């Protein structure tokens, strides 16, 4: 039997966050990023799950407050509305505070979680290992096959164009050795898949 993705204590947070994550595939992105965060924490013993996992579940709730017609202008290779990225962080802190206060554990470090949400996209450096894990899980999602499928559905990009974008706007900003290796591995697998036919057809000559 496959292990459950979400910890029991995080399910109330997820249920409260879901109404805010039904834009731009943020619900799927959040769950996959949560899984990546768990993997990164397994390689980073000093990371604190009770901060990292609530933060990754709630990091993108603020996009709900942004005009849906403007969402794709805030991201991509040449975004024209970067101000909206900051706006979603500010809104996210407000929404996440309410969710954490209502549904979080009594001893939860809410200020630490909110500090990560506030700046998870606009601040490239990390102020703690917990912040670094959240940032790497968030950006690392873009290098996954799931991330590629979702993001390419927003833009008319070939796989090659997508890989180029990821290598320019995501990989350089990975903060941990584990996150960097994870993302590079995902991209390497996508590149390899693009060459399968070349090597499987037997048409190559030394």
**Nearest partner of 32 among 134, 141, 122, judged by Cα:** 141
Asked if the model's pLDDT at residue 132 lies above 80, the reply is yes
Under CATH, domain 8-200 is a member of which superfamily?
A: Hypothetical protein af1432 (1.10.3210.10)
pLDDT at 73 over 90: no
Closest among 156, 16, 6 to 76, alpha carbons compared: 156
Q: For residue 80, give both structure tokens.
A: 């024209």
Q: What's the pLDDT score for residue 154?
A: 84
pLDDT, tens digit (0-9, with 9 covering 90-100), for 45-63: 999 999 999 999 999 999 9
Tell me the average pLDDT across 179-187.
Answer: 96
CA contacts within 13 A on the Cβ side of 52: 30
Determine the average pLDDT of the residues in 176-198: 93
The C-alpha atoms of residue 195 and residue 46 are separated, in whole angstroms, by 39
**pLDDT confidence tier of residue 80, bands split at 50, 70 and 90:** confident
Length of the chain: 206
Q: Which pLDDT score, from 0 to 100, does residue 77 have?
A: 62
Q: What is the pLDDT of residue 98?
A: 98
Pairwise pLDDT comparison (147 vs 82), residue with the higher score: 147
Domain ranges of the chain: 8-200
What are 133-143's pLDDT values in tens digits?
Answer: 999 999 999 99
CB atoms within 10 A of CB 124: 11
Q: What angle do CA 21, 27, 28 make, to 5 degrees?
A: 160
pTM equals 0.93
């Amino acid at each position: 039997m496959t292990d459950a993705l979400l910890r029991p204590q995080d399910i109330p947070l997820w249920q409260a966050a879901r109404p805010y994550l039904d834009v731009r595939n943020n619900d799927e992105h959040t769950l996959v990023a949560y899984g990546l965060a768990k993997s990164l924490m397994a390689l980073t013993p000093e990371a604190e799950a009770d901060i990292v996992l609530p933060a990754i579940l709630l990091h993108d709730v603020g996009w709900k407050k942004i005009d849906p017609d403007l969402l794709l202008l805030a991201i991509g290779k040449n975004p024209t509305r970067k101000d909206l990225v900051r706006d979603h962080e500010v809104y996210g802190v407000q929404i996440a505070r309410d969710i954490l206060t209502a549904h979080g554990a009594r001893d939860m470090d809410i200020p630490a979680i909110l500090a990560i949400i506030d700046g998870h996209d606009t601040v490239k450096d990390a102020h703690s290992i917990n912040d670094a894990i959240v940032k790497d899980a968030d950006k690392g999602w873009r290098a996954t096959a799931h991330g590629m499928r979702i993001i390419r559905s927003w833009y008319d990009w070939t796989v090659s164009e997508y890989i180029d974008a990821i290598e320019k706007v995501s990989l350089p900003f990975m903060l941990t050795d584990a996150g960097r290796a994870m993302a590079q591995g995902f991209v390497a697998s996508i590149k390899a898949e693009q060459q399968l036919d070349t090597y499987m057809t037997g048409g190559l000559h030394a």
